[in-house]
Amino acid sequence: MRILVVGFMHPKEDKRVSRTVRALSEKHDVTYVYWTKEKEHREKKGRIDYIPAYYPQHLGIRSRLKFERRVTKMIKGIDCDLAYFHHYQVLDPFGPYKAMKGTPVITDIHEYIPDDYMASVNRVPKQLRMAVGEHIFRYISKHSDGLICTRELTREKSGHIWTYLFENWGNYLIEPLPKEKRKKEILLVGATPRNFGREWPLFYRLHKMGFEITMVGSQKKPNADFIKYEPYIENGELLKRISTAAFSFCSFDPHDPKGNIRINYTHSSANKLYDSICAGTPVIVENDFIEMTNKVELGVGVVIPPYNSYSVYGILHQWENGYNQLLENIKIHQNEFVFNDTKKRTFLEFVEEVAR
């Protein structure tokens, strides 16, 4: 089977996109269209035909629309038995589906929910944004033969019959290091800058109690002297780095500038949660992060309320008295957080069933 995978604005080595490309290429020929901000050449490696779509980014709406229409035109000319879309185009969301008319389409919608559509564009009224987001979501659901989601909330909202839950699983496992081989350290992992406004007092108190607080890989350095900073490292090295820490902190302030809760945040299942458990390190999650809290209740970390004295002592208590049990729980449940052969097989079966 010939499969066209379109990453839209995802770079070539995006963790989620590249993983699906590699998995599909084990049994099928794959044409992979990906975004790049550097000029690159088309190349063939094994069963994967890599086609770059150049766009330097941040050039304005007109330039972005021109790029998206160019991608739509590009994929229209590619012969395939199945199209696999990762997310969608913001300004030309329907074009790729029209271009693939007559060809089965799977949309990997990632964490998208209509409630949070263009949430950062404050000048557009929220009700209008949600209405547009809902319209796009319904169109995508209707014109997709199969829908893949990262979380149950998106799956439920889609109402689609053919769905598959493809979580943000880690790539491989590291056996949990014993406590005596770890630093008394809490990591804040992730490239995307997050708002830790409500968490700073918690971090400061934990720092005073002897924990090192280290931010790893963020595009924006911390604005607090007591927080250390380490630059971005590749996923393989990142897991090794996480494995040496006491905890990985997986929450942040989920409110927008107006104080409203961002549902896309509170129902997120962050990569860092899966990567941390795969690295054998317990996580800390604030209890308003619903889907992550459900995972942590397997006993693989600490669930705390947003900052208060219990938050601090709850973490300290687990480090001093309950840490070995957390490590044992991680050993039991680690396989649930990694993309293993069983998950790969069920994923490929879903794709092949949709293509029939």
Asked if the model's pLDDT at residue 119 lies above 90, the reply is no
pTM, two decimal places: 0.89
Which fold is adopted by the domain 2-168+339-355?
A: Rossmann fold (3.40.50)
Asked if the model's pLDDT at residue 120 lies above 70, the reply is no
C-alpha to C-alpha distance for 180 and 64, rounded to whole angstroms: 52
In the structure, what pLDDT confidence band is assigned to residue 155 with cuts at 50, 70 and 90? Answer: confident
CA dihedral 5, 10, 14, 20 (to 10 degrees): -20
User: What's the confidence (pLDDT) of residue 257?
Assistant: 73
User: What's the confidence (pLDDT) of residue 16?
Assistant: 92
In the structure, what pLDDT confidence band is assigned to residue 124 with cuts at 50, 70 and 90? Answer: confident
C-alpha to C-alpha distance for 44 and 38, rounded to whole angstroms: 18
What residue ranges do the domains of the chain occupy?
A: 2-168+339-355, 179-337
Q: How many CB atoms lie within 10 A of CB 84?
A: 26
Asked if the model's pLDDT at residue 110 lies above 80, the reply is yes
In the structure, what pLDDT confidence band is assigned to residue 84 with cuts at 50, 70 and 90? Answer: very high
Which fold is adopted by the domain 179-337?
A: Rossmann fold (3.40.50)
